[in-house]
Every structure is written in C-alpha cells, then in structure tokens.
Amino acid sequence: MPAGENGFRGMIRTNDHDPIHVHVFKDSVEFKIDATNFKLLEVKGDYKAKDLKTAIQLVKKYQTEVIEKWNEIHG
C-alpha cells in the first residue's frame, strides 16, 4: 500500500504472526486488518467509521501486494 494514499499508510511488521494482516495508520489511529478476509482484527485509538471503511477498501485494493510482501517477510 503506497504511503500517504488518502492520508493512510500500511505496514507489515517483521516480527509479526499469522493471520496475514497489515497495520493501517491514519493520524493517531491504527487498524489491524486481515488481508485475506478483510476483517478488523484490532484497532487502537478513536476512529471514524468512514476511516475504517476506507482502510478496508485500501487493503482490498492492495491485497495481492500485501500478501506477496507478507510471504516475502514471513515465508
């Protein structure tokens, strides 16, 4: 996920664990979203429903890249 798209940025942590997921940040909010079924796994901070919707849409849009990067990092 490109940095800064709609004010969001995504990150895969190198010391993370299954399921395949991405951390999506917007301002002071962090969404942890499953990259295979697009479920919200965790959220940190107060968020707007529209920001969660946008974060999930971005994970859907970049699903292939997220999964490829996850596999590159975590094998």
Number of structural domains the chain divides into: 1
55-68 mean pLDDT: 97
The two structure tokens encoding residue 49: 């429903």
Helices (H), 1-75: 49-61, 63-74
**DSSP per-residue codes, 5-20:** BTTEEEE--TT--SSP
Instruction: Count H helices and E strands in the chain, helices first.
Output: 2, 4
Q: Which domain holds residue 20?
A: 8-74
Domain assignment of residue 54, yes or no: yes
Domain assignment of residue 40, yes or no: yes
> pLDDT (tens digit, 9 = 90+) per residue, 32-59?
999 999 999 999 999 999 999 999 999 9
Domain assignment of residue 49, yes or no: yes
**Dihedral sign from CA coordinates of 58, 66, 40, 45:** negative
Domain assignment of residue 2, yes or no: no
What percent of the chain stands above pLDDT 90?
Answer: 91
- Picking from 54, 56, 36, 32, the residue whose alpha carbon sits closest to that of residue 45 is 32
Domain assignment of residue 3, yes or no: no
Q: Look up the pTM and report it.
A: 0.93
Domain assignment of residue 31, yes or no: yes
